[in-house]
Amino acid sequence: MVATTSDVVSQLRRGALEFCVLAMLVPEERYAFDIVRSLGEIDGMVTAEGTLYPLLSRLKKDGRVTTTWRDSDSGPPRKYYAITPAGRQALAEFAAEWHRFRDAVESLLAKGTT
């Protein structure tokens, strides 16, 4: 069975998504709904918002993020996610690999589509 373009892109997206989430947490800690909504606003990033919650749980399980409950003035307490040193490390490794990969694909595509 031949993989369709959308299958391939889904795989790429699935692989990159957790690092995109980690990158969002570098400037500051954020709460779950905020992360989900921001990602949802970027075209092409998330198809199903609900799938981000298992991802966040996995990041916590892997020690790449920590969570803290904080009071909020607009309702019930919120769970804030913050990146850990292990998370920063994983992100840096991914970024290096990603840049290499992206540059390679870009240059090959450029030759193939001119």
Partner 1 sequence: MTVATRNPLVEDYLRALQRATQPLPRHERNELVEQIRAHLDEALPPNASETDVRNALDALGTPTEVARSAGVPATPRRGAREVIGLLLAATGFPPFLGWIVGGVLIATSPLWSARQKLLGMFVGPVAWAGIVTLGVVHSTSADPSCHRTGANSAACHTALLSTSGGAAWLSITIFVVLFAIPFVTAAYLWRAAGRRAGVNALA
Name the site residues for partner 1 (rule: CB under 8 A).
32-33, 36, 40, 47-51, 53-57, 75-76, 79
| CB 44 to partner 1: min, Å | 15
The three-class DSSP label of residue 17 is helix
Task: Enter the tokens of residue 47.
Answer: 């198809």
| CB 7 to partner 1: min, Å | 15
Which of residues 67 and 84 has its CB atom nearest to partner 1 in the complex? 67
Which of residues 62 and 106 has its CB atom nearest to partner 1 in the complex? 62
DSSP H helix total and E strand total for the chain: 4, 3
Q: How many CB atoms sit inside 10 A of residue 94's CB? A: 18
